[in-house]
């Protein structure tokens, strides 16, 4: 078999960019928690990637790409017997690496939503399960020849497969754990628990944005169509820009000040929103998709507060809500001339593709919600999910890891 060096290099370099996004997730989450929990959330970001890669090697790839059954693959455990990549001219090891870093991205989304109160060992157990089974099943349905692929469900780079899967898992974890001490008053009104380092958050967002060019453009799985790659790059620059602008504007109107953390989450929301349609929409469409994402992330936070769901970093509004939005956007703005299965509603295609998109994301996320609720329930029964009140007040850095992130600084452990 002859290999295409350009396509192989493209996939490997894109995968390295996605791998670097792990540092971005870590910086965002570390900056948005309190000093006493920084090492804990960083440790979770390191180890969830390690467990994700291990789980995806042993089980995940086989379930996702091992065969073309409707529900899941059934061959290739430990990558045994897998000699060919689904992408012609690309070694299977390069394709595996690209898919493995996506699995790691899906797993790490949850860390922020369960921050400051989830046991480290419980988080490790979750990380292995989602990467070994739950993410690969949805991935098989969409990208591995499963039943959604047969329906022409379109999720180019993973608004549903990666981001909404991780976001719904995050929602299940946050609900199962309950809010942090002091997050809500008895009447249900929320209290702000501020993170400790906004410069770190800004750095993390730009690392994520940088890596997202590989996330989206790398999903072409080759460099044979430079026009498509260039369009994806353009859209990946446009959507987060309007996402940040509109999130800032809505926050400014509602709260009287332009909030940095909300604007940064608006940029991430725009990135998530453009992930599914990035290859099949034009620049103006990308601007609109990003703007809607920026609005949704603000109101998503308001909705979570109304339901008393504590999400310290906004993972659910960014990834779950905007993962759904990005998937539906294919059915609204997609163009068959650019590679969409059908024209979207706004381009004369009617409701057919929109209906397929709605069915696919609903089925996928119902599967994730049910299975992750069961997983968290079992973990809670066996080893417990939440740290003690004393540990939460002292901080997870000291009690779970025996170390401080900021040695020599005064750390308040009662708030």
How many other CB atoms are found less than 10 A from the CB of residue 33? Answer: 28
pLDDT in tens, 234-249: 999 999 999 999 999 9
Contact 405, 397 (CB under 8 A): yes
- Render pLDDT for 395-404 as a digit per residue (tens, 0 to 9): 999 999 999 9
Which class does domain 5-401 fall in? Answer: mainly alpha
Contact 241, 265 (CB under 8 A): no
Q: What is the DSSP letter of 118?
A: B
Q: How many CB atoms lie within 10 A of CB 118?
A: 28
The 10s digit of each residue's pLDDT in 350-374 is 999 999 999 999 999 999 999 999 9
Retrieve residue 345's tokens: 């509603």
Residue 190 is given by DSSP the state: B
List, in sequence order, every residue forming a beta bridge with 118; answer none if it has no partner: 386
38 in Cβ contact with 114 (< 8 Å) = no
- Give pLDDT, residue 410: 61
User: Which class for 178: exposed (0-12), middle (13-18), buried (19 or more C-beta within 10 A)?
Assistant: middle
What would the DSSP string read from start to end of 325-362?
Answer: HHHHHHHHH--GGGT-SS--GGGT-TTHHHHHHHHHHH
79-83, 138-142, 231-235, 280-284: which has the minimum mean pLDDT? 79-83
Does residue 67 have a pLDDT over 90?
no
345: CB partners within 8 A, 6+ apart:
331, 332, 351, 353, 354
Domain spans, the chain: 5-401
pTM of this prediction?
0.97
Taking the C-alpha atoms of residue 282 and residue 381, their distance in angstroms, rounded to an integer, is 49
């Amino acid at each position: 078999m002859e290999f295409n060096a350009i396509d192989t290099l493209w996939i490997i370099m894109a995968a390295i960019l996605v791998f670097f996004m792990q540092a971005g997730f870590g910086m965002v989450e570390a900056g948005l928690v309190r000093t006493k929990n920084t090492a804990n959330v960083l440790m979770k970001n390191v180890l969830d990637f390690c467990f994700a890669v291990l789980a995806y090697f042993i089980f995940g790839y086989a379930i996702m790409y091992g065969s073309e059954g409707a529900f899941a693959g059934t061959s290739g455990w430990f990558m045994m017997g897998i000699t060919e990549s689904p992408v012609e001219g690309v070694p299977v090891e390069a394709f595996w690496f690209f898919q493995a870093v996506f699995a790691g991205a899906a797993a790490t989304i949850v860390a922020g939503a369960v921050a400051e109160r989830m046991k480290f060992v419980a988080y490790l157990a979750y990380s292995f399960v989602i990467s070994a089974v739950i993410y690969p099943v949805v991935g098989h349905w969409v990208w591995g020849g499963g039943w959604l692929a047969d329906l022409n469900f379109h999720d180019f780079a993973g608004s549903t497969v990666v981001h909404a899967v991780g976001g719904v898992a995050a929602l299940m974890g946050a609900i199962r754990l309950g809010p942090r001490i002091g997050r809500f008053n008895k009447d249900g009104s929320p209290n702000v628990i501020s993170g400790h380092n906004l410069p770190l958050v800004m750095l993390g967002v730009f690392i994520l944005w940088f890596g997202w060019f590989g996330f989206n453009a790398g999903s072409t799985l080759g460099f044979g169509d430079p026009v498509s790659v260039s369009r994806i790059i353009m859209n990946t620059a446009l959507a987060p820009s309007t996402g940040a602008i509109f999130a800032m504007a809505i926050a400014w109107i509602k709260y009287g000040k332009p909030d940095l953390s909300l604007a940064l989450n608006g940029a991430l929301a725009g990135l998530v929103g453009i992930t599914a349609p990035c290859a099949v929409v034009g620049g103006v469409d990308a601007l609109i998709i990003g703007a809607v994402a920026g609005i949704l992330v603000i109101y998503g936070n308001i909705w979570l507060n109304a339901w008393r769901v504590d999400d310290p970093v906004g993972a659910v509004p960014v990834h779950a809500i905007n993962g759904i939005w990005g998937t539906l956007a294919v059915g609204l703005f997609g163009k068959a001339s650019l590679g969409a299965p059908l024209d979207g509603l706004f381009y004369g295609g009617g409701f057919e593709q929109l209906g397929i998109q709605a069915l696919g994301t609903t089925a996928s996320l119902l599967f994730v919600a049910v299975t992750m609720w069961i997983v968290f329930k079992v973990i809670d029964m066996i080893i417990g999910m939440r740290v003690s009140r004393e540990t939460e007040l002292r901080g997870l850095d000291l009690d779970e890891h025996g170390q401080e992130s900021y040695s020599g600084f005064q750390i308040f452990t009662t708030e």
